[in-house]
Structure formats: C-alpha cells, structure tokens
C-alpha cells in the first residue's frame, strides 16, 4: 500500500461472526437510495479483504450475508476513503459492534459510536450529543451520514 496510488483503499475484516463461506458485499446508496455494488467476496478463515480506488470519499456499507440464510446478516457502515480500513468483531465489554477504523473519518465514526453508548437511554442528552457531532463534521461525509441517520428522531 505504501507505493500504491494515494486514493487506494484496503478494507480488512476479521471476526468470528464472519463464517467461512459468507458472502460479503461492498456497496453504497445512490441519490435515489438504490444500492450500487462496488465489489464482493467470500469470507475465508473468518475474514475478508477488499482493495480498490476511492475516486470519491463516500459513505459505504459492507454487508456480510450467511449464504444459507440471507435474512441474517451483518451490516457495517463506513466511510470509503483512501487508506487501510479495519473491521473487527463484536466487543462484549462495550456492546460495540463491527465499526470500521484505521482512517481519519472512520475513526471519527468509531469515536461517535463509543461515546454515544452512555447517552442511548437518555434522549435529553442523546440528541444534543448527536447534533454536536453533526455540527463538528458538517464539512465531511460523517456529518451528512449522521444527519441522514438520525434527523427523523431528533426534535427540531
């Protein structure tokens, strides 16, 4: 990767939740909320890898599906940006599930997810917390992603 194009990404996922044979899709939603598939692979040794070029920094999703039961799956939102992106498994200590890390914007999403946990059961502190992250990240895809995800449940 060090000699690779400055827009290259490498996504590595590893977890006991990623069973061998699971199909894994990398996709994003277009302006009409239709899925645009970027790549796909199959889990081997509880892991998967995607390599490519991030021509545009965007919100994307990694979907890990059980090939025997496509109703059950794991969906991981991330920011598709240049660099090495890592997806690890469930952390039972924090109830923190499959968050991407390793690049600047994915680290912001990871921090948001971890810091949000104490606010989840308290709307009086949750909504101001989310709004502060949106404001802090209004000029990058994280702010737009958080606004899109939470604006329906937030009081105006």
Cα distance between residue 10 and residue 75, in whole Å: 18
Query: What is the four-CA torsion angle of 32, 62, 105, 30, rounded to 10 degrees?
Result: -10
3-class SS shares of the chain: helix, strand, coil, % to 5 = 25, 40, 35
Q: Per mean pLDDT, which range of 64-73, 97-106, 141-150 is the poorest?
A: 64-73
Whether 74 and 104 have beta carbons less than 8 Å apart is answered as no
Q: Residue 116 carries which DSSP code?
A: H
- Over range 97-121, report the average pLDDT: 89
Check residue 68 and give its pLDDT: 55
- Over range 131-149, report the average pLDDT: 94
Check residue 1 and give its pLDDT: 42
Residue 125 DSSP SS3: helix
- Is residue 2 over pLDDT 50? no
Cα distance between residue 30 and residue 133, in whole Å: 24
Query: Token pair for residue 126?
Result: 């949750």
pLDDT, tens digit, 9 for 90 and up, residues 11-28: 999 988 888 999 999 999
* Inter-helix orientation angle 123-136/141-150, to 10°: 150
Cα distance between residue 38 and residue 53, in whole Å: 10
Q: pLDDT tier at 155 (50, 70, 90 boundaries)?
A: low
More confident position, 135 or 72: 135
DSSP 84-105: EEEEE--BTTTTB---EESSHH
- Is residue 131 over pLDDT 60? yes
Cα distance between residue 49 and residue 13, in whole Å: 6
Check residue 96 and give its pLDDT: 52
- Over range 6-13, report the average pLDDT: 92
Check residue 70 and give its pLDDT: 59
pLDDT, tens digit, 9 for 90 and up, residues 76-103: 899 999 999 999 875 555 545 568 999 9
């Amino acid at each position: 990767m060090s000699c690779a194009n400055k827009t290259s990404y490498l996504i590595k996922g590893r977890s006991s939740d990623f069973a061998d044979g699971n199909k894994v899709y990398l996709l994003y939603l277009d302006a009409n909320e239709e899925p645009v598939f970027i790549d796909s692979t199959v889990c081997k040794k509880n892991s998967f890898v995607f390599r490519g070029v991030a021509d545009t920094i965007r919100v994307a999703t990694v979907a890990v599906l059980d090939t025997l039961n496509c109703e059950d799956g794991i969906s991981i939102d991330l920011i598709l940006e240049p660099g090495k992106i890592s997806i690890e498994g469930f952390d039972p200590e924090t109830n923190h599930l499959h968050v991407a890390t390793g690049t600047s914007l994915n680290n912001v999403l990871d921090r948001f997810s971890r810091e949000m946990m104490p606010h989840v059961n308290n709307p009086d502190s949750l909504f101001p917390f989310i709004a502060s992250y949106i404001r802090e990240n209004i000029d990058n895809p994280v702010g737009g992603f958080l606004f899109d995800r939470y604006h329906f449940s937030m009081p105006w």
